[in-house]
Amino acid sequence: MRKKKLKRLDILLFLFFVGLRCWPASVCAQIHPQDTEWPSYAADLAGTRYRPLDQINAANFSDLEIAWRIKTDNFGDRPEYKLEGTPLMVNGVLYATAGSRRAVIALDPATGELLWIHGEREGKRGGSAPRQLSGRGLAYWSDGKEERILYVTPGFRLICVDAKTGVRVPSFGDNGEVDLKVNDDQDIFPDLITGEIGMQSAPVVAKDTVIIGAAFREGMTPKSMRNNKGYVRGFDVRTGKRLWIFHTIPKKGEFGYDSWEKGSAEYTGNTGVWTQITVDEQLGLVYLPVESPTSDFYGGHRPGNNLFGETLVCVDLKTGERKWHFQLVHHPLWDMDISSAPILADITVDGKPVKAVAQPSKQGFLYVFDRLTGKPIWPIPERPVEVGNVPGEWYSATQPIPTKPAAYSRNGVSIDDLIDFTPALRDRAMEIASKYHLGPVFTPPTVSKLGGPLGTLTMGTASGGTNWPGGSYDPETHNVYVYACNSCIEPIGLVPAPKEISDLNYVAGTAGKEVQVLHGPGENAGADSPKPPTKRTGGGYVALNLDGLPLVKPPYGTITAINLDKGEFVWQIAHGETPDVVRNNEALKGLNIPRTGQETYNIGTLVTKTLIIAGEGHVTTTADHPRGAMLRAYDKATGKEVGAVYMPAPQTGSPMTYMVHGKQYIVVAVSGGPYSGEYIAYTLPSTGE
Amino acid sequence: MFHRPEGHDHVKMKNVAAILVLAALASRFGLLRAQGPAAESRTAWDGVYTEDQAKRGELIYHKECAACHGDMLAGRESAPPLTGGAFLANWNGLTMGDLFDRIRKTMPQSAPGRLTRQQDADILAFMLSVNKFPAGKTELYRQSEMLREIRFEATKPASKK
């Protein structure tokens, strides 16, 4: 990668100097500088989401106009409302996944014209998939002659198509496909059609190796302690042949097997890598962010630390052999999946150059390691944590807690965190909080009881902090820029699982509420005649908000700039307009409330030569704009907002940027609520010349 | 909508057009205000569902929706919350018809449209109750076009206090 990267850097530097020489943009257009590409999901395999473009800048960001847009409704048999993709732009073509069938589309990056579409009709196999809809993206590969696009279908098949035509490449696998449910060192049960395993993230291609993780259903109320396992595999990008496999749950005799007591490694599943994988091609190292083992919140059937659950694992790109690992959470009980791409950063600490890897997290810690050795850059000591009393549970008495950088978002709930706009609101929040067990990061779940506690009130767990969009990294300033939900409260209560529902002792739930498991398609078929609902045992709904107001103080969502040379914050801002329910709230009339940001966890950031760019996750209606959301730009040095442009719906896929024919574009996926998925490309107005 | 006797279409349509123009003018000048409050648009704060309906909806919700949206409607990675700020923001200023149609078109994810209109309306009634919209004396409609006449307002209008 170094060689390739240097090449790219040369091009970028060239572009930069051309950019300096040929301002204004109209002059640039005549010079036709070379395109700037976005060749993989996170811009590069280092997970940076960085492109040093500057045609769109602080002076003109608010002038951006829509260059083209494409609705994804017809790329599937129904519209989708959760479009999470980030397109690629390589060699003058834009590629993206789109629609409820997860089609691949190729577009002209300047006009949005549809060049080709590839879709796979998977029938029941697609319909039973644990992770449906369009997914997050795809991968591009070229040897200089051939160009290929690779993606994983909802039904868990790796498809390879010709990037020029969208037609399957016959020499890859079985006529262009590799069935990912086989040759996986396990028998996917119950069968290949309905067997629970899939993937919604974009594959990674590094040095002719395609790397594929695995994802499952949400894991809070599984039917069984037994599930399929999420191994990671490498495949030859030319032939589709499996090159290696890494057992994220070790097999007998392998390192880490002992961390699953009572033989629980045999039947426990999940523990996949469902988010983006990062690669250092030069070092030949792959960084795997591993998720939680089976049952997000109850680990009584898997005593022990459970390697490699919630562990950052470094493996060899050629062989898949483990080089080092660091378990972020021992014996996971909080759904602290490592949820986003590790970020590779070449930094300078105490005057010494360090090749580092920085891992954002749901729990708001940015874990920073030497990426060759796995040694923490700043100490991450084991600290004692609360041990709970859920029957049958196994607890780790300590957890690793970074000393630096400080947590960039809330990862626990205390009375001090509760809303304090008015005494009345605070009283109501205290009343709600009193029904729960509170505490700092790693406060364990409780059994849910009608008389209290209903559970543990947590932040920085299942949906807090940074989720799949991950962070950005700026190789110029050595800053990580990372969005976090600072108000995503997660009540974690456990209820005994009825035997007809699950073979686990406990699953997530609230006292008095029925325990439900996900129904697969076909179950309960026979429209209009559902079985009579079963009995209810009572218990009210404790809304964890106050008429739409978050239970905790603002800021609700933040972007933080963290300098990796020093391990310190450079700035932190609230990201997103103050929600309508706050601005229009009768109870808050007359109060001067600074911008609060928004309670949402799936915001991705883009970093350019000068800007941090991120859209909003909520719809608002203000004096400045009709119902919609804003794509905002901040000065990357200070965090000061320098511009904003209107989007018809919230950002649901992370923005990317590229340059073609002398023009810079920003593409972002929007959707949600009543608005079906759409990719929108923004560019500067034409100069009229 | 209009009865159209055979053979008189042309004439009839002209008449209809004239009536519509008159009606539009009349309404603009306030001549039809005699219809009273019923003609004013309703919002989700006007008691547009019943408690019984919400209870029916609760049972269906727990059977059909809770696995993804959570037993407290708080949402998950794979499904958005159906309560709280993000939910209210998504639908604020739109109509109950928009929300109802979204459910009908896309839910449950494994088999969209499998539930009846009545079941969808009951689920929606339950969602309204959890979001603290007041119950009333009449059930929530199951016809999209009628639901489109009820606005979804995230915050209680001052006049309703």
Summarize pLDDT for A152-179 with one digit per residue, the tens: 999 999 999 999 999 999 999 999 999 9
What was the pLDDT predicted at A33? Answer: 53
What was the pLDDT predicted at A23? Answer: 39
Domain locations in chain B as residue ranges: 9-39, 42-156
What was the pLDDT predicted at B40? Answer: 62
Query: What strands, in cross-sheet order, belong to the sheet with A663-672?
Result: A65-71, A675-683, A663-672, A651-660
> How confident is the prediction for chain A on average, in pLDDT?
91
* Chain A residue numbers touching B67 (CB-CB < 8 A): 221, 516-519
> Does the beta carbon of B35 lie under 8 angstroms from any beta carbon of chain A?
no
Inter-chain CB proximity B90 and A674 less than 8 Å: yes
> Does the beta carbon of B98 lie under 8 angstroms from any beta carbon of chain A?
yes
- In sequence order, what are the residues at sequence separation of 6 or more whose Cβ sits closer than 8 angstroms to the Cβ of residue A327? A305, A307, A308, A309, A310, A311, A400
Rounded average pLDDT over A548-552: 93
pLDDT digits 0-9 by tens, B4-52: 444 444 444 445 455 555 544 444 444 444 444 444 679 999 999 999 9
What was the pLDDT predicted at A175? Answer: 98
Inter-chain CB proximity A544 and B64 less than 8 Å: no
Backbone angles phi, psi at A139, to 5 degrees: -125, 150
A87-101, A378-392, A426-440, A498-512: least confident range? A498-512
- Does position A534 have pLDDT exceeding 60, yes or no? no
For chain B, how are helix, strand and coil distributed in percent, rounded to 5?
A: 50, 5, 45
What residue of B is the nearest CA neighbor of A487? B85
> Does the beta carbon of A217 lie under 8 angstroms from any beta carbon of chain B?
yes
CATH topology of domain B42-156: Cytochrome Bc1 Complex; Chain D, domain 2 (1.10.760)
Per-residue confidence at B1, pLDDT binned at 50, 70, 90? very low
A259-273, A602-616, B29-43, B124-138: least confident range? B29-43
What was the pLDDT predicted at B38? Answer: 47
- Does position A221 have pLDDT exceeding 90, yes or no? no
What was the pLDDT predicted at A90? Answer: 97
Tokens representing residue A403 in the block:
């000393």
Q: d(Cα A350, Cα A51) in Å, to the nearest integer?
A: 27
Rounded to two decimals, the pTM is 0.89
Rounded average pLDDT over A26-48: 77
> Does the beta carbon of A683 lie under 8 angstroms from any beta carbon of chain B?
no
A545, A553, A651: best to mutate for the B interface, most B CBs within 10 A: A545
> Does the beta carbon of A546 lie under 8 angstroms from any beta carbon of chain B?
no
Which of A553-579 are b and which e, b meaning 16 or more Cβ less than 10 Å from the residue's Cβ?
bbbbbbbbbbbbbbbeebbbbbbbbbb
Q: d(Cα B161, Cα B159) in Å, to the nearest integer?
A: 6
- Does position A17 have pLDDT exceeding 70, yes or no? no
CB A486 within 8 A of CB A555: yes
Rounded average pLDDT over A566-589: 95
What was the pLDDT predicted at B156? Answer: 83
Domains of chain A: 35-519+537-683 (2.140.10.10)
Per-residue confidence at A499, pLDDT binned at 50, 70, 90? confident
